[in-house]
Amino acid sequence: MPLILHGMGTAVPSRRLSQADAVQVAHRINAETPEQARLMTRIYQKTQVLSRGSVLLEKDGDDGTIQERLSFYGEESPGTAERMQAFEDHAGELALEAAAKALSDSELSSAAITHLVTVSCTGFQSPGVDLYLIEKLALAPSVQRTHIGFMGCHGAMNGLRVAHAFAEMDPKAVVLLCAVELCSLHMAYGWHPEKVVANALFADGAAALVASADPSPVKLSPVNPSPSHQSLVLQRSGSMVIPNSADLMHWEIGDHGFAMGLSPLVPETVGAALLPWLRDWLKEQAIDLEAVTSWAVHPGGPKILSTCAEVLSLEPNLLLDSRAVLQDHGNMSSATILFILDRLRRRECSGPCLALAFGPGLSAEVALFDFQ
């Protein structure tokens, strides 16, 4: 039974960090020598991230120095408790913006939502973002809540699988899924190449969708209907864990936030396993790899996109949306793949569409969509 995505919404912090600003922050909290500062500048340039949002920015770009605008990162690295307080202060609001947009785009009443799935790997709080959304969106007190936590950049794909299962179990279910990530809360201090690369890539964002198996759930008659877009239809999803690769990527709770370990071997390891796995998985769906006409590949960084393009023999235009999201917003962890899918449907791309995301394990998630 397919899962129909009736509406989608995305949100990023209103205050932005330019690439030049980000490099200045890195020089202050990471570089210990002039040589490291020069290397840092090259690392940030290679990410291809031009701009990113952060909930921690206190002033707009033309108002004060970057140190004044981002005072959260001072002389000493903030502790985990301070970072989690920032998550509690900001995550709900950003998630609410994305979820409200998704509801409006679907033209469904909040009263229609029967299930709520939240996704995050960048913060913990209880009561959580799910209860914040129930209150602010006036969802029914009986809405069934599920949280997908700490699964990394493919977390929204796991959330989609849960939403799909709910819809298969109850064809009348209407699921609101919301992924919110505040990666800027976890910038690491000091010189460590893997952590420096993570600082250079990650950013804040939220994305949401409203989905059901029922193609025609009861809708509102909005005064100002949202523009009509294609709907994405999730057909199938799958997973793979690459053997003997657990030490190549990790996301661990430390005394100074969550620490990312990101080996330079990740793209090579993913690339070696990707093609045979995808061919076998698509064969089970009676689809040839060459028949896939739209791609949403999570941009963990430019190297992983280049590796996927090479091993899957993808034309450059097939990853334009993935590269554009990375350039404009950075890597927003689990929310990122939903930003890309939203771009594809708004451009009225053709299907089949394949979404791919990667995370600790090393693990990969795949989802097969059509457009309608």
Task: Output the pLDDT for position 61.
Answer: 65
pLDDT, tens digit, 9 for 90 and up, residues 151-174: 999 999 999 999 999 999 999 999
Helix (H, G, I), strand (E, B) or coil at 146: strand
Name the pLDDT band for 228 (thresholds 50, 70, 90): low
Helix (H, G, I), strand (E, B) or coil at 238: strand
DSSP 344: H
**2 pLDDT more than 80:** yes
**260 pLDDT more than 60:** yes
Cα-based torsion angle of the residue sequence 325, 146, 169, 10 in order, rounded to the nearest 10 degrees? -20
Burial 32-43 (b: 16+ CB within 10 A, else e): eeeebeebbbeb
Q: pTM for this structure? A: 0.94
Q: What percent of the chain has pLDDT over 70?
A: 96
User: In Å, what is the CA distance from 82 to each residue of 77, 190, 357?
Assistant: 10, 19, 30
Name the pLDDT band for 223 (thresholds 50, 70, 90): very low
Q: How far apart are the first and last CA of the chain?
A: 15
**81 pLDDT more than 50:** yes
Residue range 131-148: mean pLDDT, rounded: 97
Q: Are 99 and 150 in contact (CB under 8 A)?
A: no
Segment among 163-167, 180-184, 228-232, 332-336 with least mean pLDDT: 228-232
Q: Are 128 and 333 in contact (CB under 8 A)?
A: no
> Domain residues of the chain, as ranges?
232-371
**221 pLDDT more than 50:** no
Task: Output the pLDDT for position 270.
Answer: 93
Segment among 57-71, 184-198, 320-334 with least mean pLDDT: 57-71
Task: Output the pLDDT for position 112.
Answer: 95
CATH code for 232-371?
3.40.47.10
Q: What percent of the chain has pLDDT over 90?
A: 77
**338 pLDDT more than 70:** yes
